[in-house]
Structure 1
Amino acid sequence: MPFVKVLTTEADTAQPKVKSRTAIALTQDTIITNKADTSVLKDTTNKKIVDSSITSLNDSAKVITIDTLSFSQDSLAAQVQYNAEDSGVLIMSTRNFYLYGKASTQYQDLKLDANTIEYTQANQMIKAFGGVDTAQGALNKPKLVQAGSESISDTIFFNMKTQRGLTLNTFYKEDDIYVQAQRLKKVDKEVAFGYRTTFTTCNLDTPHFDFRARKIKIINNKIAVSGPANFEVEGVPLPLAIPFGIFPLNRGRHSGLLPPQFASNQDFGLGLEGLGYYKVLNDNWDITVRSNIYSYGGWNLNIQPEYFKRYKYRGNLNLALQKTKILNSGTISKSEFTETSGFFITWTHSTDTRARPGTTFSANVRAGSTKFNQYIPNNSYQNFQNQLSSSITWNKIWDQGKYNLSVAGNHDQNNNSGLINIRLPTVSFSATTIYPFQRKEIVGAQKWYEKLGVSYNGTLLNQFSFYDSAFNFKNLLDTAQWGVEHRVPITLSLPPLGPFILSPSVSYGERWYGQRIMRTWNPDAKKVDTSILKGFNTAREMSFSLSFNTRIFGTVNFPKSKGIKAIRHEVKPFVSFNYKPDLVSKYYSTVQIDTLGNTYRFSELEGGVIGAFSPGKFGGLSFGIDNLLEMKVKDKKDTAATATKKVKLLDGLSITSGYNYLADTLQWSPFSMSLRSTLFGKVNITGSASIDPYNIDSLGRRVNRLLWKDGKVGRFTNGSLAISTSLKSKSKDDKKTEDRISPDETLTPDEQLAQLEYVRQNPSEFVDFNIPWNVQLSFSLSFYRTLSPNLKDYLTQINSNLNINGDFSLTPKWKVGGGGYYDFKTSKIQSLTMFITREMHCWQLAINVTPVGLYRSFSITLNPKSGILRDLKINRSRFFYNQ
């Protein structure tokens, strides 16, 4: 039974009253007990340890007493918890206390473990020693833990009152730094000095690398500073040295310089990248400033403030200024350099829903010069990012969610064409469904008319458009457009008719326009002239529908099968009778488009910020069917005889179309198809297609002739197919993999995206050697028909690409990987990256090569894994701009 005890304060050590002061001589380690005496100190095992009054064994003997250990003058500020596996000895005369065998003490935030611990109460000095075992060598070395720091030594001398101490042959850990010192002196609770020290971030007893310095100073949770230090690898000194070392140990935010990285670029010249400063403004704000400087004269400046207030808001702003100066080495040009300037701004903001319930404000802004992304080196993802968009939204909900008001500003731009659209403001208001005939207090079943509901949706849009190369304020006002849309849906829920559900509805829509586009044939210029008439215009649309839908189930069982147990098919058909009068025919006109007399029907309201209603009246039906297919198979992972699991074969396969009884021609609507499936839980498949049942003329326009009369199904006018999968081998250690991929919940979504972007740019630094191989494949195919600029014929656009990423282990310590993007339209590899990396425990070697893309590059990097030494790297990089 281990010896366990609590050293108490002076309140627990009062002197007992004695009848006699006659004493006898005793040895220092003598402990005498008397069965008849009840005034004793007991340990937690209820065994008598020390008598406060020692009595002889017969009645005639004198009463002998010994003074107890007094704490009245030198008592500690708190109790000391202690225990020992072997024993504890208290020497009265010298007031020393010894613990033997896996001893442990706890005083406030200080914890000490050792083989032997000696405590001298007179000066509150603790001495701790390790043991020696003939088979195991050193045994139970002293271990001291205080204020988040930990040290293991051969010998420890420590004063509990002054918090000063001296340790010999100490192994010390502070955050990611491991320090071994011949002598380590603690001058107070926070500061320690080391003599003849080695420090490293490798956690092995014999580290792969270290820095050897004569002196080092460590301030807990703040900083470690060393004098001149020599670099060693595997204990072998190298002719490399640093004049001093500064290692931040702050676990929280702290201001400081951001060290740069040397870069060599054929197009930009020599440079320093990432040079900057991080400043903590207060508890809620900080700012990061980084810059890239190149010898040819180019530079880049990033200013990024971040802010966060708990339960209120959080966000960050990034303003990037860019001056690019590229050497024209591979092209014939009048000037030696190509120079451009640009900017880019990113802003994200979100409010906590608890700050003002019912009111939110959010922002997601990405805007800048159209050529900015093109001149970012070694970032193929941003080089080809040509679509940018922004949104700033204020939203208000009141009356228990019945009403919703949203005011937003939006922006989108195309970096290829240079066209920028700004929609400001966009105001949306909606009211949830109101039941005007419903009783205030419902008693019993509801009447059918009480389920009649009316709702409202309204939107106000304003848009300005301009090209970044030809921007001026007058042109901006000329392109201003506005529009308003109102929607009033009316619905009614009727009781089911057996397996059928009936849903009648009425919808009214109205749109207001600020302009009309007039097109006329110009016989002199032999082209179509376009003019814009400003003014207030309105268009309306109404529709009536009555829909029937149901669900049909079918199951086929296979009782004798050992694998497939059953296949289940679910069919969800629907039929809807619709009527829509033609209320917008006055805005449609037929215009001659060429000298041959061909014509085209245009809407005067199309091309605006709000689209035009479709022409013609519709009176007919819409129909469709959706399918779900799944099967039940034997679960091989479950040993139970009846254990099964569901496997989905089709998540959905739908076909929809319609027929217009009121149309003179082209009565059939195009057939729309969609497919959703996840095969074997690994392969994701999505597809869609539109099939037109009518033929076309020589110019690609629909004519009233059904293709199925000619034995054809129809014409595919547009469609898409996307297939993706992610495959990987079984992990060698599931626990390590789970720890690796667990998300950091303390990061904002934008910070997580930035982190993913860094991983995308530096895949070799984030490979998982615990997984022997993995691969991600995605293929996409899309096609569509669009009207050509001459307004006569149609063009078919086909796009398809293949994206591959993955890696595999050549050996347990070598891994090769890469990724590529192949465009089938151009029959070219648009992007290709490859890497090979070597796992070296506390170091990592990475070789990255990008032979294809706007920027071609290669880099060789050797760096420690520790975050503290992330800037200590040997790097050789070359970049080539593909002009």
Structure 2
Amino acid sequence: MSKRVLKFIILLTVIVGFVVPSFGQVVPSDSLPAIDSVAQALDSTTATGVLDSLYQDTPVSNKVRLSTDSIYSTPVSRPSDDGGFLTSKVEYTASDSIVGSLDIGEAYLYNEAKVSYENMTITAGYIQINFDNSEVYATGLRDTSGAVVQKPIFIEGGKSYRADTMRYNFDSKKAKIKRVITKEGEGFLHGEDVKKINDNVFYVKNAAYTTCSHEHPHFEIKTNKAKVVAGDKIITRFAYLEVLDVPTPLIVPFGFFPTTETRKSGIIIPAYGRNLNRGYFLTNGGYYWAINDYLDLTLTGDAYSQGGWGLNGRTNYRKRYKYSGNFGMSYSKVRYGREEFLDYGSQFFADNSQFAVNWSHQQDAKANPSLRFSANVNLSSANYFKLNSTDRDEVLQNTANSSISLNKSWVGKPYNLTATLNHSQNNTTNDMTVTLPDVNFSVNRQFPFKRKNAVGSKKWFEEIGYSYNVTGKNEIRTKMGKPFFTETVFADSARNGVRHSIPISANYKVFKNFVLNPSINYTERWYFERSEWGFVDSIDGRAVNQARVVDTTKGFYGVRDFSVNANLSTKLYGQWNYKGFVKAIRHVMTPTVGLSYRPDFSTEFWGYYQDVQVDTLGNTERRNMYNYGLYGSAGEGVQGNVNFSLLNTLESKIRDKQDSTGAKKVKILERLSLTTSYNVAAEEFKWSNVNLTMSSSIFKGLISLNYSAVFDLYGYDEIEGQRVNEFAIDVNGKLLRTTSQRFTTGINLDQSRFSKKENSQKSDEDKQSQGPLADPGFANDLGITAGDINYYNTRQRVDFSLPWSANVNYNLTKSYNGLDAVVRQSADMNANFEITKNWRAGMSTGYDIEAKDFTYTSFDFYRNLHCWEIRCSWVPFGLQQSYTIGINVKAQTLKDLKLERVRGIGDFER
């Protein structure tokens, strides 16, 4: 078959899918001999061809009319005429009428009739039972419009069969069915005539297999004969594909469709195509191995005619009530262009290797609540996803993080132990940090002075509590691409240490409206090396003349520090009442004043600092011997701070007739905070920077507003080019000198902001029973999917809502180098729209206002064709310029029935 014919078939499928989206929702067939009324069921002259001739000789007057309020059944082991026995009860019921009985050997059930025998159940509009021959016959009913409803549904061994008419023998368990529809695996089997041999095997004449759930499917694989082994496979003779009742030249000499619910091993068919720079290719071809019920393995590979290739392996594992996870490894050799063109630019030739490793492991919460293990590993080379993926999130992934953790807790004890292995990488700078290991042990807060049997009011010392935390880790910082497991990396790049922390604090209410929080914090660090400083006049003949680290001394060293703190806070309320639309405005202020003290740990008494010469004049300064320590070091200089902070909120109460109270609260200012501190012990620059943060939202959260800034009370001398110990008002004529500002605003929209709340109630007609298929769960067993017309349940609700969302954000940043400001502005937007019930579209973009260029931009489209789907993804420009167009069957069973067109890196001129 030529490519032109294939394209014509796919194009025809798409056009008809767009123009006739409701093709599958046709009026049901009226060809079966349905029963119109009870009288017709009992009148042999009008029921010819429907009722068995055995019953035509029995006068109607001899038949017995039974009550419909009971369920009738036969006795066990009643012999049949052919020598068989009914080994179980036959139970039957109907909603309108039951005529006949066991004594006369026959029964007629009308409207919502049901017959059950062992693991078999038949429901239909009309059912006829012959007790002597152990047979049952079922068909549908015509409603007032002439449509056939309540068609027979046959259920046996958990499998369901929809049919026009059917006949079943209780003894042999064989059946003959006209126009059957049954669900097999992910697909549906349609048949004109079906002969059921036993519980698992039946033969079908004029059969069709499809994954479309409509009674008149959009596409079918048709054959004149098929054998079905229920829950295992479907085998057909010569078969061909039919789309919208139009036969196509896509034919196969035979068909084999696995329908088992268990996994099966098999070959994965590769995708093929051509890349302008990498050549012709076969991708994602390989083998799937279902190792056992707990483990599988997928191995695939890629091959390009220009020399590039790739290997991918992935395994999934699961043990119920224990754990589950997956592990994957990928390696690709990216090669495109011609090597002789490399002198003209790297864009003309590339030959590099890329890799990616990912592992995810989750432990069931019930497996061992006190001991938990988890893993989330995401490790890759810097450009792997940029060169091998068109997924937006993967392409824009500039950082990657991994964590493997083991957590231990003791039931009834305040102890917790955590051991982790962490990894982080920056794909832009190629920096990589690995923490191996990171161990943390903690004791929850304890109150050592709290009385077990308290009498009277609580004593002040009972509020004193402490906690304990010790953490130790070994951290390695290196560059991506360098050999990692080498002695050089571990010796030169590793930092390690242990830190103990004991915070002691209390909480008191003083002066009725104030809260006092005193605390003492003690920290001790253990290091295994320290730096030795010295004056270096030259290096390799080059004059340096400065203090540098000249040696590293191994040993065991302790670095301790402590601080004392006390904070006093309260809340101040102010309210203004009005009589108009605005009923009241309330302002809440939370001022906090704190005192903190930390001694000078740079003195000779503590031994953490070293006096070292810093210039040729012999001047000396103190240098910290633990400045490269993993957990820092004790601070230099006395800290005697007075800390100030002020938190403000502002809200109003406005008139609202829809509210039960007649008013509602509206937040005007969600947060406005100011923080600074004054160091009494400092010799200069006693005031720290003033930090301002503000956030609010308007129109019920539709628009968010955020602003933050840092101000300096001290001035900047432009001549000296540095900050000076004089107030900015004296140096620069400003009370506060701005050092940085950031403003962001965003609009968040979705359909819920414009939809009206409806509290409609169902009518009594909707609530009443609608037969055995009124239960949605029962309908789903038949494979009826959302959007299908359920011919077995005439009442159905359709949701016409069109969900959508859109976010637009604006960012403004001003950073200051002295008095000169550097401004950066950008905007970004992402949106998702469900244009119609079956059309969805999404887009994401951004614009750098300063660079006057768009950032990563992508458009995504999706069309639901019921049992088919179309996906399109387009990146119009940039390094990741690409597009993907694909049309495929949704079900995994026929996932290879697809057509794709992919263009990515290497397919566009740069």
| TM-score tier (shorter) | 0.7 to 0.9
Residue 621 (1) aligns with residue 642 (2): yes
CA contact (8 A) 2:742 2:813 kept: yes
The Cα of 1:364 is off from its aligned counterpart by 2.0
Q: 2:889 aligns with which of 855, 859, 864?
A: 864
Q: Distance in 2 between matches of 1:48 and 1:457?
A: 73
Amino acid in the other structure paired with 2:169: N
Q: 1:272 aligns with which of 246, 265, 282?
A: 282
CA contact (8 A) 1:850 1:858 kept: yes
Amino acid in the other structure paired with 1:664: E
Question: Would the alpha carbon gap of residues 79 and 508 (structure 1) be closer, same or farther in structure 2, given more than 3 Å must change?
Answer: same
Question: Would the alpha carbon gap of residues 186 and 317 (structure 1) be closer, same or farther in structure 2, given more than 3 Å must change?
Answer: same
The Cα of 1:654 is off from its aligned counterpart by 1.5
Q: Distance in 2 between matches of 1:27 and 1:470?
A: 95
Residue 583 (1) aligns with residue 601 (2): yes
Partner of 1:775: 806
Partner of 2:531: 516
CA contact (8 A) 2:188 2:210 kept: yes
Residue 567 (1) aligns with residue 585 (2): yes
Question: Would the alpha carbon gap of residues 182 and 659 (structure 1) be closer, same or farther in structure 2, given more than 3 Å must change?
Answer: same
Amino acid in the other structure paired with 1:654: S
Question: Would the alpha carbon gap of residues 283 and 812 (structure 1) be closer, same or farther in structure 2, given more than 3 Å must change?
Answer: closer
The Cα of 1:460 is off from its aligned counterpart by 1.6
Partner of 1:533: 552
Partner of 2:469: 457
CA contact (8 A) 2:232 2:259 kept: yes
Structure 1 segment 393-792 matched on structure 2, within 5 A: 393-398=405-410, 400-471=412-483, 472-513=486-527, 514-516=529-531, 518=533, 520=535, 522=537, 525-527=542-544, 529-535=548-554, 536-561=556-581, 564-584=582-602, 603-635=624-656, 638=659, 640=660, 642-679=661-698, 680-697=700-717, 701-709=722-730, 710-718=732-740, 720-729=742-751, 770-771=801-802, 773-781=804-812
Question: Would the alpha carbon gap of residues 342 and 798 (structure 1) be closer, same or farther in structure 2, given more than 3 Å must change?
Answer: farther
The Cα of 1:558 is off from its aligned counterpart by 3.5
Residue 125 (1) aligns with residue 120 (2): no
SS in structure 1 opposite 2:173? Answer: coil
The Cα of 1:94 is off from its aligned counterpart by 7.5
Question: Would the alpha carbon gap of residues 839 and 380 (structure 1) be closer, same or farther in structure 2, given more than 3 Å must change?
Answer: closer
CA contact (8 A) 1:732 1:771 kept: no
Q: Distance in 1 between matches of 2:899 and 2:845?
A: 27
The Cα of 1:141 is off from its aligned counterpart by 3.2
CA contact (8 A) 2:716 2:722 kept: yes
SS in structure 1 opposite 2:729? Answer: helix
Amino acid in the other structure paired with 1:650: L
The Cα of 1:278 is off from its aligned counterpart by 3.6
Q: Distance in 1 between matches of 2:496 and 2:586?
A: 52
Q: Distance in 2 between matches of 1:494 and 1:813?
A: 62
Q: Distance in 1 between matches of 2:70 and 2:212?
A: 48
Partner of 2:296: 286
Partner of 1:758: none
My pick for the range that moved more, 726-735 or 352-361, is 726-735
Q: Distance in 1 between matches of 2:857 and 2:470?
A: 48
CA contact (8 A) 2:65 2:100 kept: no
SS in structure 1 opposite 2:894? Answer: coil
User: Aligned pairs, how many?
Assistant: 796
Structure 1 segment 150-299 matched on structure 2, within 5 A: 150-174=160-184, 176-251=186-261, 253-299=263-309
Question: Would the alpha carbon gap of residues 691 and 588 (structure 1) be closer, same or farther in structure 2, given more than 3 Å must change?
Answer: farther
Amino acid in the other structure paired with 2:431: L
The Cα of 1:147 is off from its aligned counterpart by 3.7
The Cα of 1:666 is off from its aligned counterpart by 0.1
**Per-residue Cα deviation, 1:89-132 (whole angstroms, up to 9, x for no partner):** 43778833333444321233322233432333344222223445
Please give the root-mean-square deviation of Cα atoms over the aligned residues, in Å.
Answer: 4.1
Structure 1 segment 33-52 matched on structure 2, within 5 A: 43=67
My pick for the range that moved more, 615-624 or 159-168, is 159-168
The Cα of 1:32 is off from its aligned counterpart by 7.0
TM-score (structure 1 length as normaliser): 0.80
My pick for the range that moved more, 284-293 or 186-195, is 284-293
My pick for the range that moved more, 494-503 or 721-730, is 721-730
Q: Distance in 2 between matches of 1:286 and 1:150?
A: 30
Partner of 1:805: 830
The Cα of 1:393 is off from its aligned counterpart by 2.0
CA contact (8 A) 1:501 1:549 kept: yes
Q: 2:368 aligns with which of 342, 356, 360?
A: 356
Amino acid in the other structure paired with 1:364: N
Q: Distance in 2 between matches of 1:96 and 1:351?
A: 59
Q: Distance in 2 between matches of 1:553 and 1:605?
A: 48
The Cα of 1:687 is off from its aligned counterpart by 4.4
CA contact (8 A) 1:491 1:506 kept: yes
Q: 2:89 aligns with which of 79, 99, 108?
A: 79
TM-score (structure 2 length as normaliser): 0.78
Q: Distance in 2 between matches of 1:243 and 1:697?
A: 89
Amino acid in the other structure paired with 2:460: W
The Cα of 1:361 is off from its aligned counterpart by 2.2
Amino acid in the other structure paired with 1:515: R
Q: 1:844 aligns with which of 862, 869, 873?
A: 869
Q: Distance in 1 between matches of 2:658 and 2:261?
A: 45
The Cα of 1:87 is off from its aligned counterpart by 3.6
Q: Distance in 1 between matches of 2:815 and 2:535?
A: 28
CA contact (8 A) 1:28 1:93 kept: no
Q: Distance in 1 between matches of 2:620 and 2:249?
A: 84
SS in structure 1 opposite 2:453? Answer: coil
Question: Would the alpha carbon gap of residues 782 and 608 (structure 1) be closer, same or farther in structure 2, given more than 3 Å must change?
Answer: farther
CA contact (8 A) 1:96 1:120 kept: yes
Question: Would the alpha carbon gap of residues 210 and 308 (structure 1) be closer, same or farther in structure 2, given more than 3 Å must change?
Answer: closer
**Per-residue Cα deviation, 1:609-658 (whole angstroms, up to 9, x for no partner):** 222344221213101011223333445655x4x34443333332221110
Residue 820 (1) aligns with residue 845 (2): yes
CA contact (8 A) 1:74 1:122 kept: no
Q: Distance in 1 between matches of 2:583 and 2:347?
A: 75
Q: Distance in 2 between matches of 1:795 and 1:532?
A: 41
The Cα of 1:303 is off from its aligned counterpart by 2.2
Question: Would the alpha carbon gap of residues 675 and 425 (structure 1) be closer, same or farther in structure 2, given more than 3 Å must change?
Answer: same
My pick for the range that moved more, 201-210 or 84-93, is 84-93
The Cα of 1:607 is off from its aligned counterpart by 3.6
CA contact (8 A) 2:374 2:404 kept: yes
CA contact (8 A) 2:470 2:501 kept: yes
Amino acid in the other structure paired with 2:638: K
My pick for the range that moved more, 616-625 or 518-527, is 518-527
The Cα of 1:576 is off from its aligned counterpart by 0.5
Q: Distance in 1 between matches of 2:576 and 2:347?
A: 76
Q: Distance in 2 between matches of 1:664 and 1:827?
A: 47
Q: Distance in 2 between matches of 1:334 and 1:501?
A: 66
Question: Would the alpha carbon gap of residues 616 and 242 (structure 1) be closer, same or farther in structure 2, given more than 3 Å must change?
Answer: farther
**Consecutive unaligned residues in structure 2, runs of 5 or more:** 1-36, 39-55, 759-798
Of all paired residues, the percent bearing the same amino acid is 31
My pick for the range that moved more, 93-102 or 584-593, is 584-593
